[in-house]
Amino acid sequence: MKMKLSEIARVVGADCPLAEGDCPTITGVAFDSRKLKPGDLFVPLAGERDGHEFLTSAEAHGAAATFIAASKTPITTNIPQLVVADPLTALQKLASYYLLMKVNPKVVAITGSNGKTTTKDMTAAILSTQYHVVKTPANFNNEIGVPFTILSMDTNTEVLVVEMGMDRPGQLTALSGLAEPDVAVITMIGEAHIEFFKTRDKIADAKMEIVSGLKEDGLFIYNGDEPLLRERAEQVDQQSKTFGLDPDNNLYARNIQAFEDHTEFDLSKWPDLHFTIPVMGEYNVSNALAAILVGRRFHVKPESIQSALSHFDITANRTQWLKGDAGESILSDVYNANPTAMKAVLRDFSEFPCGGRRIAVLGDMLELGEASGDLHASVAPALDPDKVSEVYLYGDEIVTLRDALAKRYPADALHYFKKGDQQALINALQEDVSYQDMVLLKASHGLHLENVLAALLDGDRG
């Protein structure tokens, strides 16, 4: 961005403390004073600590100006101050103005219980073959991250691909209203945040909020394999298209072949083209289908879509293959977990060629609320003793999965460790895992299976 401080003051309804000729040009925004660059506007936000406490640091890092909450005044600082009712609201108002009045790109908004980051990356790669595209960095997908993404655009941006997350009702309504998307995408409905929403129906209602800001001539793209979305899509006035694995969808995949480091598939729409994506899993094929539909909306040629998907850049892809100290192959996915994602990964893991044993190490899936026990137990059918030889379970919530598996796995192939007994889990795995074995590690980040991963990698086996 590049805006005079006086213009920003007018946008957010603040008095500019400097004369027009003395106003600096703001070239960016920052809410972390440590990452602030000279010329940035500092936005002090409320978090574990009040952002106003870091004004000295912001000044030291070259802040050109700062928002100040009216409730915090008077504050002494050498940085020019724009006093606003709420810095976050002012940030969002500034982002909306910059988006619509300064850049005015086409906007693609993407949400979903799983897959939104990967779909964002695929979509941006496809559109970048013909347009100047900006996408959400990392997972900056909330009420802070979305305006930050908008304000990071160059004025020559033609398409903005913005990821939108949510953990409460009304959040996507606000984000969609801010971005006013031309295309809105829902990848899927899972169980993420069900502790707060109670049912998948309510999660679907919250995800559907993404269409609240969709332009009248916009396009709604959603996973047609999900009945909850098909039902709700009937109430959407804008044009809609579906993707999925069912032939009833506008776009569906055929001949899916999953490998350890890539997945291949065909489309009925273009039978002469064979697609390869550099990520594992049938679930990522669905993400690719969503991105393909966006690409076609923007008239990207099929061959360009095929090429872009074959080598797109992946943001913070935490599912990765590593080699353990004993020579075992480790599929690490230790930063996020919910029942839908866990079952999907287990299905793929169970089919990968393996010279030794397949060993699943699974931990609690958090934020599942009252349904936690049933949802953990629901993973049991995805574990076949003929394909996954041994299962290690870690945590307190996952005990119901242990009980469900006890009917199918012999006692010496099913291992359970309470939360807090992580060292015992590590010791057992280090003693058990050997060359040619294949190990899956998956749990919510709160279980800290990254410690187990580190122990399997570093070679310290006592």
Residue position matching structure tokens 């269409």: 211
CA–CA distance, 63 with 227 (Å, rounded to integer) = 50
**149 appears as a binding residue in the annotation:** no
Closest by alpha carbon to 392, among 370, 414, 411, 422? Answer: 414
**155 appears as a binding residue in the annotation:** no
Contacts of 149 (CB under 8 A, 6+ apart): 134, 135, 136, 137, 140, 160, 162
**115 appears as a binding residue in the annotation:** yes
CA–CA distance, 229 with 155 (Å, rounded to integer) = 35
Q: What tokens appear for 89 in the block?
A: 């609201």
Q: Which residues pair with 413 in a beta bridge?
A: none
Asked if 46 contacts 71 with a C-beta cutoff of 8 angstroms, the reply is no
Q: How many CB atoms lie within 10 A of CB 418?
A: 14
Residue 363: alpha-carbon gap to chain centroid: 20
**117 appears as a binding residue in the annotation:** yes
Question: Dihedral angle at the C-alpha atoms of 408, 413, 414, 416, nearest 10 degrees?
Answer: 170
**176 appears as a binding residue in the annotation:** no
CA–CA distance, 428 with 442 (Å, rounded to integer) = 17
Q: What tokens appear for 307 in the block?
A: 């090429």
- Give the residue numbers of the binding site for ATP: 112-118
- Give the residue numbers of the binding site: 112-118
